[in-house]
Amino acid sequence: MGREVGIVGVGQTHHSRRRTDVSQAGLVREAVNRALADAKLSMDDIDTVVVATGPVLFGGVNQPEKWVVDAIGAQGKSVVRLTSGGGAGFAGALAGYYQVAGGYSERTLVVAYDKLSEGPLQYSISTLYDPFWGREFAVGIMGFSAAYWRARMDVLGHTEEAAAMCAAKNRNNAINNPYAHQKKAVTVEDVLNSKPLCWPIKLLDVPPISDGAAAIVLANDKVAHHSNSRPAWIRGIAYCCEADNAPERSLMVSEPLALASRQVYRAAGITNPRRQFDVVEIQEPYSCFELNYYESLGLCPPGQAADLVASGATQLDGDIPVNPSGGCMGANPIGAVGVIRLIEAATQVMGRNESHQIKDAKLALVQSGGGWANLRGCAVLSA
Amino acid sequence: MYYAPETTPIDLPTFHSQIKLPYTLTPGRAAGIFLVEIANGRIVGSRFKDGSVIAPAQDFSPKDGEEPEALVEAPDTGELTGFTRVDGAVIGLIRLDGCANAFTHRILGELADLKVGQRVKAEWDGAAGQSILAIKGFVVAADAPVGTVKELGELPEPLGVVNYAFALDYEHAYGPYYGRMFDEIKQNGVFMGVRGSNADEALLPPREIDDITHKRTGTWKACADTGTIRACSIINIEVYGQTRQVPYVYAEVVLDGASTKMIHVIEIDDLEHAKKNIKPGTRVRAVWTKGERQGRVSDIERFEVIDG
């Protein structure tokens, strides 16, 4: 193993349904400036930059990293752009982690964003499907996600009510998140009674569509102390994939996430995730995914996710709070979300979370990935 | 293991697809003000702390990312720093007087008359509105006096949104496996897959390598046009690009004889009825389109539930 890698600076925009006052590049700049200020650094101190966004059709700008680099003053630096659907920001963080852990960079800036108000979201997601086989009848990611939730209901008991509990929990947590833009108290009944969009997915199971950016500065153990006396160390991070339309693939428990968590837990010395983690941040593109991830991350055995959420354990005052920030329900600028979840978990173990600081949080679990089935990952952070 | 067969290019028919998308792009402050002012016949540039001016205006310096100190009015005269001809039109790089950068625009003139360093002047099109095309193009103007950058008075509100759209046409190569499958659909109305490396069920769509064993797949096999729903949802949301009226069912169907899914639709009349009667495990059959088959998945118009 190479160098230890810590998150030493974080910054995100005040996310919004639509920002007409800044361009895509201007949005990115806000997050980058905040992260650099937080890390007490300037762009001169940064060795390499990773720019992560969702698919290029989301914003209609090809090779946007060239625009972004001009706007953040990173001309002349080593820059790569990464895109990986919903997990784009997380994949960007993984790339940055490799650069620092491998000793190729002392400090790497990872910035992730999407400005989803600018294009037709579900249709651009439909273009991710095989053009020969499926694109004609795809309904973005919502039709697909709802279909497998419906299948998990029968096999794993992921009921509409259990998912509604996740949605209500996250929506209510988001009210206190200064960066969220959807902040309205809702009850489980409100979620259950909301309009079916792709049944079983209903309006309040669905996060907002957002414009937003998020940035983190990663530093090795030699220089981290210049920025932060208490960095959030990355104890393990992985992002796995599986075949798209292979036989023997049930899509019940998320296989790539189960694989990723096994790797990460081994690296971080996690043997009992439910007991060991103080706080969890999950990327839930729809409420039903949260139930799926409880099981894939080993927070409960398959088939017990509904019981876990019903027990209250994942509420703010439970023994394993999930999404104190409100998760995607407060804001969902898709490409940025992987980095936002890392920020929310990092500030928890740094002891300075702005939404709901979990008391004495020392060990945090972060999950990220697309609503798309086959790319998902997780990371463990500690102070 | 993987195979690396000897291959030579051959010309075969392709699969046409089009991606057509509308956008509402945000230009940001500087470009937004540029677009408002160009409709008034003024070219807005950005002046940075070191005194350099770039036009059209940008929110960030291309040199160091700094924000401009002020937005200014650039003259509509300048010099040509490069040019080429595209599709009969002449395109040039123009550096406006007093500015540090060159930008691309049309040159209204003959290629033979142009040389690098030539003086040029904007020709305006008053009817083009808030668009870079409010300048119709630049014309050669050997005697145009050298203009100067001026202060701008009160700044207008920037334009917040620019409507934009594109349609991208693709010609995808089928490859031998998809090629055979779509030929069979078109000629015979049959969905053919290939057997897994170690199974009788077919992988559909067919492929060279089995995803699970990573071994070469087996022989071709015709699948039935009946099957079982593996997963489904009831689409009640209207989104751009949809081809069916809501509500309808999005279904992932495993055809009899196959081990993998295909995505299709089932028409319904009523949401509540569909919730109860269409679910994982429900048996369905294909309803083919009438008329000549095209060799596409949409040659099946929809699936319907097999009663009883």
Per-residue pLDDT tens over the stretch B59-72: 999 888 899 999 99
Do B143 and B240 fall within a single domain?
A: no
How far away is chain A from the Cα of B142, in angstroms, using its nearest Cα? 34
* CB within 8 Å: A198 and B233: yes
Look at residue A106 and tell me if it is in a domain: yes
How far away is chain A from the Cα of B126, in angstroms, using its nearest Cα? 26
The rounded radius of gyration (Å) of the Cα atoms in chain A is 19
Q: Cα–Cα distance between A348 and A367 in angstroms, integer?
A: 15
The rounded radius of gyration (Å) of the Cα atoms in chain B is 30
Q: Once rounded to an integer, what is the mean pLDDT over residues B190-197?
A: 96
Contacts of A207 (CB under 8 A, 6+ apart): A182, A284, A285, A286, A327, A328, A329, A330, A331, A332
* CB within 8 Å: B233 and A137: no
Residue in chain B closest to A61 (alpha carbons) equals B25
Do B105 and B217 fall within a single domain?
A: no
Look at residue A70 and tell me if it is in a domain: yes
Look at residue B20 and tell me if it is in a domain: no
Facing B23 at nearest CB: one of A118, A197, A198? A118
Do B140 and B248 fall within a single domain?
A: no
Taking chain A, what is the end-to-end CA distance rounded to the nearest angstrom? 19
- A chain contacts of residue B240, beta-carbon cutoff 8 Å: 120, 122-123
Look at residue B177 and tell me if it is in a domain: no
* CB within 8 Å: B22 and A126: no
* CB within 8 Å: B260 and A245: yes
* CB within 8 Å: B196 and A247: yes
How far away is chain B from the Cα of A195, in angstroms, using its nearest Cα? 9
Question: Which of B26, B195, B261 should we substitute to test contact with A (largest number of A Cβ atoms within 10 Å)?
Answer: B26
Whether A5 contacts A210, CB under 8 Å: no
Q: Cα–Cα distance between B203 and B200 in angstroms, integer?
A: 9
Predicted pLDDT of residue A134:
86
- A chain contacts of residue B281, beta-carbon cutoff 8 Å: 154
Question: Which of A29, A133, A286 should we substitute to test contact with B (largest number of B Cβ atoms within 10 Å)?
Answer: A133
Q: Which domain holds residue B232?
A: 199-305
Residue in chain B closest to A140 (alpha carbons) equals B239
Q: Once rounded to an integer, what is the mean pLDDT over residues A6-27?
A: 97
3-state helix, strand, coil in chain B (%, to 5): 15, 40, 45
Look at residue A21 and tell me if it is in a domain: yes
Predicted pLDDT of residue B308:
63
Torsion angle (degrees, nearest 10) of CA A343, A347, A353, A358? 120
Look at residue A367 and tell me if it is in a domain: no
Facing B211 at nearest CB: one of A73, A127, A243? A243
Q: Once rounded to an integer, what is the mean pLDDT over residues A290-301?
A: 97
Q: How do residues B166-180 score in pLDDT, each as one tens digit?
A: 999 999 999 999 999
* CB within 8 Å: A133 and B297: yes
Q: How do residues A105-143 score in pLDDT, each as one tens digit?
A: 999 999 999 999 999 998 888 888 899 998 888 888 899
Across chain B, what does the average pLDDT equal?
Answer: 94
Q: Which two tokens stand for residue A254?
A: 């998320």
Q: How do residues B27-60 score in pLDDT, each as one tens digit?
A: 999 999 999 999 999 999 999 999 999 999 999 9
- B chain contacts of residue A163, beta-carbon cutoff 8 Å: none
- The CATH number given to whatever domain includes residue A18 is 3.40.47.10
Q: In what order do the strands lie in the sheet with B53-54?
A: B53-54, B43-47, B70-74, B150-151
Q: How do residues A183-217 score in pLDDT, each as one tens digit?
A: 999 999 999 999 999 999 999 999 999 999 999 99
Distance of CA A99 to the CA centre of its chain: 20
Do B208 and B282 fall within a single domain?
A: yes
Facing B21 at nearest CB: one of A29, A120, A197? A120
Count of domains in chain B?
2
- Amino acid identity of residue B56, one-letter, is P
Helix (H) or strand (E) holding A109, with range, is strand A107-115
Q: Once rounded to an integer, what is the mean pLDDT over residues B222-242?
A: 95
Q: Which domain holds residue A54?
A: 5-121+209-227
* CB within 8 Å: B235 and A143: yes
Predicted pLDDT of residue B212:
87
Facing A150 at nearest CB: one of B174, B279, B298? B279
Look at residue B233 and tell me if it is in a domain: yes
Angstrom CA distances, A279 to A14, A203, A205, B131, stand at 23, 27, 22, 50
Q: How do residues B90-130 score in pLDDT, each as one tens digit?
A: 999 999 999 999 999 999 999 998 999 999 999 999 899 99
How far away is chain A from the Cα of B214, in angstroms, using its nearest Cα? 11
Across chain A, what does the average pLDDT equal?
Answer: 95
Residue in chain A closest to B33 (alpha carbons) equals A21
Contacts of A291 (CB under 8 A, 6+ apart): A152, A156, A158, A162, A163, A166, A305, A306, A309
Do B41 and B128 fall within a single domain?
A: yes
A287 falls in which pLDDT band (50, 70, 90)?
very high
Q: Which two tokens stand for residue A113?
A: 């964003």
Residue in chain A closest to B31 (alpha carbons) equals A23
* CB within 8 Å: A136 and B298: yes
Question: Which of A18, A51, A62, A132 should we substitute to test contact with B (largest number of B Cβ atoms within 10 Å)?
Answer: A132
- A chain contacts of residue B176, beta-carbon cutoff 8 Å: none
Count of domains in chain A?
1
Look at residue B48 and tell me if it is in a domain: yes
Look at residue A84 and tell me if it is in a domain: yes
Q: Which two tokens stand for residue B246?
A: 């809501």
Q: How do residues A159-192 score in pLDDT, each as one tens digit?
A: 999 999 999 999 999 999 999 999 999 999 999 9
Predicted pLDDT of residue A128:
86
Predicted pLDDT of residue A251:
84
Q: Cα–Cα distance between B18 and A143 in angstroms, integer?
A: 21
Do B55 and B154 fall within a single domain?
A: yes
- B chain contacts of residue A21, beta-carbon cutoff 8 Å: 26, 28-29, 158, 160
Residue A1 has pLDDT above 60, yes or no: no
Could you list the beta-strand ranges (E) of chain B: 14-25, 43-47, 53-54, 70-74, 77-86, 89-96, 103-107, 119-124, 135-140, 150-151, 162-173, 191-195, 202-203, 220-223, 226-235, 248-255, 262-267, 283-288, 300-305
A372 falls in which pLDDT band (50, 70, 90)?
low
Do B49 and B100 fall within a single domain?
A: yes
Which of A4-18, B231-245, B274-288 shows the lowest per-residue confidence on average (mean pLDDT)?
A: B231-245
Look at residue B247 and tell me if it is in a domain: yes
- A chain contacts of residue B234, beta-carbon cutoff 8 Å: 146, 196, 198-199
Residue in chain A closest to B25 (alpha carbons) equals A118
Look at residue A105 and tell me if it is in a domain: yes
Between A and B, how many CB-CB pairs are < 8 A? 197
Look at residue A108 and tell me if it is in a domain: yes
How far away is chain A from the Cα of B233, in angstroms, using its nearest Cα? 4
* CB within 8 Å: B230 and A151: yes
Do B153 and B43 fall within a single domain?
A: yes
Residues found in chain B: 308
Look at residue B150 and tell me if it is in a domain: yes
- Amino acid identity of residue A154, one-letter, is D
Residue in chain B closest to A124 (alpha carbons) equals B21
Residue A245 has pLDDT above 90, yes or no: no
* CB within 8 Å: A138 and B263: yes
Do B154 and B32 fall within a single domain?
A: yes
B14 falls in which pLDDT band (50, 70, 90)?
very high
How far away is chain B from the Cα of A135, in angstroms, using its nearest Cα? 8
Do B31 and B150 fall within a single domain?
A: yes
- A chain contacts of residue B178, beta-carbon cutoff 8 Å: 132-133
Do B204 and B279 fall within a single domain?
A: yes
Look at residue A81 and tell me if it is in a domain: yes
Instruction: Give the Cβ contact number of residue A51 at 10 Å.
Output: 29
Percent pLDDT > 90 in chain B is 88
pTM of the shown model: 0.95
* CB within 8 Å: B203 and A129: no
Q: How do residues A29-59 score in pLDDT, each as one tens digit?
A: 999 999 999 999 999 999 999 999 999 999 9
Instruction: Give the Cβ contact number of residue A280 at 10 Å.
Output: 28
B1 falls in which pLDDT band (50, 70, 90)?
low
Percent pLDDT > 70 in chain B is 98
